[in-house]
Structure 1
Amino acid sequence: MRRVAITAAALLLLGSVAACGAGDEQSTGSGGKKKVTLTLNWVPYGEHAPFYYGLKKGLYDAEGIELTIKAGGGSGKTIQAVAQQQTDFGWADTPPLLKAISSGMKVKSVGVFLQKGPASIEFLADKGITKPADLKGKTVGGTPGDAIYATFPAWLKANGVAASEVKVVNLDAAGKIAALAEGQVDAIQGFFHDQAPTIEARTGKKVDYLPYADWGMNMLGTGVVVNESTLSKDPETVKAFMRATQKSWSEAAADVPAAADAMTELAENEPPREVLVRQLTLAVPLLAVTGGGLPGVNSEAKWTETIGLMSQYAELKDAGAPSKYWADSYATTP
């Protein structure tokens, strides 16, 4: 029986019920396990397969957690849901997390997993784009308000291209893929590991991309977000959730087909299996795990770099130190 994940729209309808499953003491499920909710950054795609793998393999059960995975409607909305205690954990991108915390939201990261950011400029391979300078005279679709959009002019400048030499067309997040597939724009701003396989499946054409990280601007990507009150009231559940999540990611990265099978079995509205396999395959190198470490273990230097870039290019006010945004004691090493 497939595990039903509520849609992003349903999550928003539940927004007024802040005490539903989070905020107060978590309810107890079968066998005395704690009922815990995780809200994703978007509707399920390949990057999320490790969570479903952990469910199927009993890795969360082994930590005393009865986990329910919910679809999201963007990192910003997921972070807000965590801040309003509508969900116990969020899976969200780091740049909007920094903005949320600077605006007063009482949330923190307990570990970023995609340490090489997936932000990129994507385009059909037949466009002949191989470097940022090739974007001169091109039309690029982007979504105002997200970090990729905000830092695009600076990324261009760092690569010797004036912002005036590239036309930016404002599109909503859901419309960018269609705009590129239908030839309305030459390129789009987005996460290459998510969107490129989807576009290739839709068009039958190869998609190439210029990752920001490979061209002078690497910011931390997606990770686990928790409300500060949860950290203070129930740190053991946070530690247990992170242990299970780190193990899930580590094992899923080593067996992508098994993770894809788990997601196909348990998720709702997931992409076709061949697409999610490709998405997870592209995500695994972004973990940037070295020296036998586990996914989700961060360094202060990487946080400082991301904070600095957001401060310089994305109007992050009163930036502060990494400890303002990141609780560093929850993601463990082997």
Structure 2
Amino acid sequence: MRFCAILFCLVVAALIGPGCARKEPAPAKVGLRKIALQTDWFPQAEHGGFYQALAKGFYREAGLDVTLLPGGPGAGINLKVAKGDADFGMNRSDDLILAASQGLPLLVVAAVLQHDSQVLLVHDASPVKSLDDLAGRTVTASVGMAWIPWLKQSRGIDFALRPQTYGLAGFMADPDAIQQGLVTNEPYVARQKGIAVRSLMIGASGFDAYHAIFCRRELARAEPDVVRAFVGASVQGWRDYLEGDPEPAHALILQANTQMTGGLLEFSRGELISRNLVHGDAARGEVIGQIELHRIARQIEILRELKILDRPLTAEAVATKEFLPATRR
């Protein structure tokens, strides 16, 4: 009996004693929220800020496990995001306005590019010196884009269209050719082939679309902290990519896209910087990531003038500044 009593006391002491001195349990490690960003093309410098955020751990620090999905022709970015196959997407703001007018539940939450990087590429010796000089000519372009009827209507000109092929062989063989491209890409490719070219910025026409980050409205409603974390880490990534050492992003891009070269990455990043495509115009108060609703409203107004909106919209029905870092609202 004495042994049993002693054993009982030892057991009680073992159970109670630690309880008196125990520390608060360490908080359980919360798992990272998985996020997929559907990009608009194959990995390139125009995605550099996202790859920088991935490479340097900015997304993980924000509690996110981010996958960057490559795009390309027919990627179906808007539908993938609308259906939940991707959480975020990249696309032009005018395309997202049209999608919203057609009932897709999408919301612009930040800008990747403050200004349109699209250009019309001409040979250096071409008599086409300005957008007005397109009158009566043939332009190779992505038929159906809103800037085409805007250019014709606003300039009072007409020109023929040839469908975009996403290659430069035809352009390089024809000294009179005019082809849509990106100022961050096609001029480099042409010059590498020994072709001297000039670029006419489409944004100079007065139709200057954002290149935007967007998500499903339901994600913004149900998980606003996730949207805010993704936008904040992406803005941090873009600043670091453009103002710091881009090599972490470039290493990931070269690994993900075997057709990419270091030379093109450097050229593209240089154009993003020199043309303030991401930073924007400081004199106008533009900064990385910023969205201005008055610019979205103007784009909606233009699309209504062109009679290509399915229904009228407000800027607030398309975009929000809610998830931008406080200094960018």
* TM-score, normalised via structure 1 length: 0.80
**Pair 207,313 (structure 1): closer, same or farther in 2 beyond 3 Å:** farther
**Do the aligned partners of 1:143 and 1:171 also contact (CA within 8 Å) in 2?**
yes
Gaps of 5+ in 2: 1-28
Question: What's the secondary structure of 2:58's corresponding residue?
Answer: coil
Equivalent residue in structure 1 for 2:181, among 174, 177, 190? 190
Structure 1 residues 300 and 42 mapped into 2: Cα distance closer, same or farther (>3 Å)?
Answer: same
Partners of 2:96 and 2:307 in 1: CA distance:
13
Superposed counterparts of 1:66-145, under 5 Å: 66-74=65-73, 77-145=76-144
Question: Could you tell me how far 1:52 is from its partner in structure 2?
Answer: 1.0
Question: 1:208 Cα deviation (Å)?
Answer: 1.2
Displacement of 1:218: 3.1
Highest CA radius of gyration, 1 or 2? 2
Q: Could you give the per-residue CA deviations for residues 181-211 of structure 1, whole angstroms, max 9, x where no partner exists?
A: 332861112332233223333x222321111
Check if 1:207 corresponds to 2:197.
yes
Q: Does 1:311 align with 2:304?
A: yes
**Equivalent residues of 1:148, 1:190 under 8 A apart:** no
Is 1:332 the counterpart of 2:325? The answer is yes
Q: Distance in 1 between matches of 2:210 and 2:196?
A: 24
Asked if the contact 2:82–2:106 (Cα under 8 Å) also holds between the matched residues in 1, the reply is yes
Match of 1:221 in 2: 210
Could you tell me which residue of structure 2 aligns to residue 233 of structure 1? 222
Q: 1:290 maps to which residue?
A: 282
Identity of aligned residues (%): 20
Q: Aligned Cα RMSD in Å? A: 2.5
User: What amino acid sits opposite 2:132 in the alignment?
Assistant: A
User: Matches of 1:91 and 1:75 in 2, distance apart?
Assistant: 14
Paired positions, count: 295
Cα gap change, 1:256 to 1:317, in 2 (>3 Å):
farther
Post-superposition, which runs of at least 4 consecutive aligned residues in structure 1 deviate over 6 A?
none
TM-score (norm. length: structure 2) = 0.81
Look up the equivalent residue of 1:206 and give its one-letter code: A
In 1, Cα distance between equivalents of 2:74 and 2:265: 20
**Structure 1 residues 196 and 309 mapped into 2: Cα distance closer, same or farther (>3 Å)?**
farther
Deviations 1:42-73 (A, max 9, x none): 11222111111111111111101111111113
Amino acid at match of 1:227: R
Which whole-Å CA distance do the structure 1 matches of 2:73 and 2:262 have between them?
22
- Given the superposition, is the C-alpha separation of residues 256 and 192 from structure 1 closer, same or farther in structure 2, using an over 3 Å criterion? farther
The gaps in structure 1 that reach 5 residues or longer are 1-29
